[in-house]
């Protein structure tokens, strides 16, 4: 990767990459907990979950610094580390770890026209928050994830996704797509139904608004 090309590009692109990478550890952990098959077709190894965790830790430690640097077209150590997290650690982490709720919810959100302007990683970030609600993650973890998203500018509410007025039917359609047996929400270690995904999205939005 040419780091200067990344630094010269709009910062939103790097941040979107961080949104995609944010899901890596949580999805790999969900697959590990449910004994799901990895994207590579095997069981999840210690190496895979370790790389996925390193991806998450790097985002938390370096993400804001990297965003501020690329907003000024600067290449710093933080930028280099985020490029590695977004590209290598996330890539290997998801391939050898697996996908779960976050990416399935992203796929569901593609059915909502108000979300069509968003980048992949921006929708995945909200999917990650929704996945954590599905798993009833503890408050300290939610605090850390929401703090990160708010710091770098990733969406955590319906309004930030472009959904100004919630259409229950449209949101239920998205939840139904996310919960489809052909998608990856079934890799979650909790029961998944369209209603549970819908409720988790509603709750994720409420939590996101609370943290604002």
Structure tokens at 188: 């979650």
Q: How many helices (H) and strands (E) does the chain have?
A: 11, 0
Q: Is 117 a catalytic residue?
A: no
| CA dihedral for 66, 119, 197, 164, sign (positive or negative) | positive
Of 2, 33, 57, 103, catalytic = 103
Q: If you write DSSP's letter for every residue of the chain in order, what string do you get?
A: --HHHHHHS-HHHHHHHHHHHHHHHHHHHHHHHHTPPPTTSSPPPHHHHHHHHHHHHHHHHHHHHHHHHHTTT---HHHHHHHHIIIIIHHHHHHHH---HHHHHHHHHTTSGGGTTS-HHHHHHHHHHHHHHHTT--HHHHHHHHHHHHHHT---SHHHHT-SS--HHHHHHHHHHHT-TTSSGGGSSS---HHHHHHHHHHHHHHHHHH-
Three-class SS state of 181? coil
183 is an active site residue: no
Active site residue: 120, 138, 143, 167, which one? 120
Catalytic residue among 106, 140, 151, 205: 106
Q: Which residue among the candidates 20, 57, 167, 183 is catalytic per the annotation?
A: 20
The catalytic site residues sit at 20, 103, 106, 120
């Amino acid at each position: 990767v040419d780091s200067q090309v990344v630094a010269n590009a709009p910062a939103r692109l790097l941040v979107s990459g961080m949104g995609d990478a944010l899901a890596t550890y949580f999805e790999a952990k969900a697959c590990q907990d449910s004994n799901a098959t990895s994207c590579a077709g095997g069981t999840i190894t210690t190496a895979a979950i370790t790389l996925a965790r390193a991806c998450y830790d790097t985002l938390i430690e370096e993400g804001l610094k990297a965003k501020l640097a690329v907003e000024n077209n600067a290449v710093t150590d933080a930028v280099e580390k985020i490029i590695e997290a977004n590209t290598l650690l996330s890539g290997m982490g998801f391939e050898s770890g697996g996908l779960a709720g976050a990416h399935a919810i992203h796929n569901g959100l593609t059915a909502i026209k108000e979300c069509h302007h968003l980048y992949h990683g921006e929708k995945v970030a909200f999917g990650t928050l929704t996945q954590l609600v599905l798993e009833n993650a503890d408050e300290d973890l939610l605090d850390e994830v929401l703090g990160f998203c708010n710091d770098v500018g990733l969406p955590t509410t319906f309004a930030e996704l472009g959904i100004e007025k919630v259409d229950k039917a449209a949101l239920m359609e998205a939840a139904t797509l996310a919960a489809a047996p052909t998608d990856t929400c079934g890799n979650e270690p909790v029961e998944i139904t369209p209603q549970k995904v819908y409720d988790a999205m509603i709750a994720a939005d409420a939590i996101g608004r609370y943290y604002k």
